[in-house]
Amino acid sequence: IHNLPLSRRRLLTALAAGTASLAMLRLMSNPARAAGRKNFSLRAAPGRARLVPEPHGETPAWCYNDAVPGPELRVRQGERLRVTVENALAEETTVHWHGLRVPNAMDGVPHLTQRPIGVGETFVYEFDAVDAGTFWYHPHQRSFEQVGRGLYGPLIIEEADPPRVDREVTWVLDDWRLTQSAEIGEDFGNRHDMSHGGRIGNTATINGRVPEEFAVRRGERVRLRLVNAANARIFGLDFQDHAPTVIALDGQPVTPHEPAGGLVVLGPAMRADLILDMTAEPGSRVQVIDRFYQDLEYRLIDLAYDDAPLRDSAPNWSVALPANPLPEPDPATVRRHEIVFNGGMMGDMVMREMGGSMGEGGSSGMMGMMHGDGIWFINGKAAEGHVLDPMLTLERDRSHVIAMTNATAWHHPIHLHGHSFRVISRNGAPTIHREWQDTVLMAPRERVEITFVADNPGDWMFHCHILEHQAGGMMGVIRVA
Ligand code: C2O
Ligand code: CU
């Protein structure tokens, strides 16, 4: 550590002590310092992807650098990324760095934080890797179609001192609605998907391929970084006899724990870092099954054990992750805010449409407060077009609690840009793993409280990450000022 430049040494010390502030981190990684900056280029363009094995053809898709997913961008914590994005699509685009605490102007939200990148144009994003963890990037322009056609990729920020494992593996999960000839169904953004569970597909992929098997050895320890890049599908992964340990959610360390009911549940946009010890017998095959939806049990991939073990039993190395420099909210001075989600099929939309058919005045109560002809509502308002006006303004550098109620019949992964938040309670019961997340999956009728220090100034998107719900009005802007 003593050979490092002073700024980096101070940064690492502060990181270790958990006292580095966002401002401090930004100050120390000043753009002029060439060392520690990594340059990347992403080119968004139509291309082809081998999603499904032969004899099927390749699938026409939209790609970053000719691939689905796009390249894994990987830096060390404290480094600075400079990403040049070229738009070779036939429509405008942007790139959002999901879960990263970047300055507002680098957040990639069209019309809110930047002009969209026009056809043939280039835009340079530059920001510091403040938090270590598993993140991802994707367009924020017509995301339901651009992400749905394959524009996304993983972004990994390495800890200075990661836990010891034999192998580190990233699995970017997706779910596609493919035709018989392995082409992407063209029905993007239809009203049925929007008002129900979103665009649920028929083909799941890992890293852009329908997976066959994953070769492992008994005794091996793998750090598995999972990213759910699907528009709408929620994954609930069952590793059967293996007992994965969750060490991070949405990139942020949690108290290491086994997932409830043995299922690793990931809503769209969510990530989990798992420590997976390969404990089955040499030569065996173990299926990894997605069983989130009760009527749909899906064999995702097999763990295929080599005949020769690596070691006889799991290693007893520590699994703890170093903390990220997140400001701890202060419960004593917290400001409270309430947010209610409404709408969707079997919810208020049905009532409203029935109300409509019964003529003026047929809708009552809550319905009278809904504006616009959106499908989903946040505090009675459905977003239309580009959302610019804040629905909520949070005083900067203060602690806030947002109490959220899902008054719909559907799951919603709710995402806030520019911050990570602690999930402190679900239906009134305190959470127990010190969860820090940027996307929280809310079950139907569930009530969730989140808390965070609003230390990142700017206008930030707040939306459901089922991309059809977002397009159907389930988004707003939260201002930190
Ligand atoms: Cu992953 Cu507003 O996005
Ligand atoms: Cu939703």
Question: Measured from the CA of 109, which atom of ligand 1 is nearest?
Answer: 2
pLDDT reported for residue 347: 66
pLDDT reported for residue 32: 41
Query: Do 76 and 206 have their domain in common?
Result: no
Tell whether the model's pLDDT for residue 176 goes beyond 90. Answer: yes
How do residues 115-169 score in pLDDT, each as one tens digit?
999 999 999 999 999 999 999 999 999 999 999 999 999 999 999 999 999 999 9
The residues lining ligand 1, judged by C-beta closer than 6 Å to any ligand atom, are 96, 98, 138, 140, 269, 415, 417, 461, 463, 465
Query: Do 400 and 440 have their domain in common?
Result: yes
**What CA–CA distance (Å, rounded) separates 288 from 403?**
35
For 454, the domain range is 331-480
Which of 131, 158, 185 is the C-terminal boundary of a domain? Answer: 158
Question: Measured from the CA of 463, which atom of ligand 1 is nearest?
Answer: 2
Query: Do 122 and 171 have their domain in common?
Result: no
**What CA–CA distance (Å, rounded) separates 418 from 410?**
26
Q: Hey, whose CA ends up nearest to atom 2 of ligand 1? A: 461
pLDDT band at 273 (very low <50, low <70, confident <90, very high): very high
- Tell me how far the alpha carbon of residue 331 lies from the centroid of ligand 1, in angstroms: 28
Percentage of the chain with pLDDT > 90? 85
Query: Do 78 and 198 have their domain in common?
Result: no
Ligand nearest to the CA of 417: 1
pLDDT reported for residue 360: 34
User: Does this complex have an ipTM over 0.95?
Assistant: yes
**What CA–CA distance (Å, rounded) separates 451 from 19?**
19
Query: Do 38 and 103 have their domain in common?
Result: yes
Query: Do 271 and 341 have their domain in common?
Result: no
Tell whether the model's pLDDT for residue 8 goes beyond 70. Answer: no
Query: Do 262 and 173 have their domain in common?
Result: yes
User: Residue 323: inside a domain, yes or no?
Assistant: no
Ligand nearest to the CA of 444: 2
How do residues 282-317 score in pLDDT, each as one tens digit?
999 999 999 999 888 999 999 999 999 999 999 999
| Residue 378, Cβ density class (10 Å: 0-12 exposed, 13-18 middle, ≥19 buried) | buried
Q: What is the mean pLDDT of residues 6-15?
A: 48
User: Residue 359: inside a domain, yes or no?
Assistant: yes
- Tell me how far the alpha carbon of residue 25 lies from the centroid of ligand 1, in angstroms: 23
- Tell me how far the alpha carbon of residue 136 lies from the centroid of ligand 1, in angstroms: 10
Tell whether the model's pLDDT for residue 362 goes beyond 50. Answer: no
**What CA–CA distance (Å, rounded) separates 108 from 93?**
9
Question: Measured from the CA of 470, which atom of ligand 1 is nearest?
Answer: 2
User: Residue 312: inside a domain, yes or no?
Assistant: no
What is the secondary structure of 129-157 as a DSSP string? --S-EEEEEE--SSHHHHTTTT--EEEEE
Q: Hey, whose CA ends up nearest to atom 3 of ligand 1? A: 98
pLDDT reported for residue 401: 98
- Radius of gyration of the chain measured on its C-alpha atoms: 22
Please state, rounded to an integer, the average pLDDT across all residues of the chain: 90
Q: Tell me, what CATH number does 75's domain have?
A: 2.60.40.420
- Tell me how far the alpha carbon of residue 355 lies from the centroid of ligand 2, in angstroms: 23
Query: Do 461 and 374 have their domain in common?
Result: yes
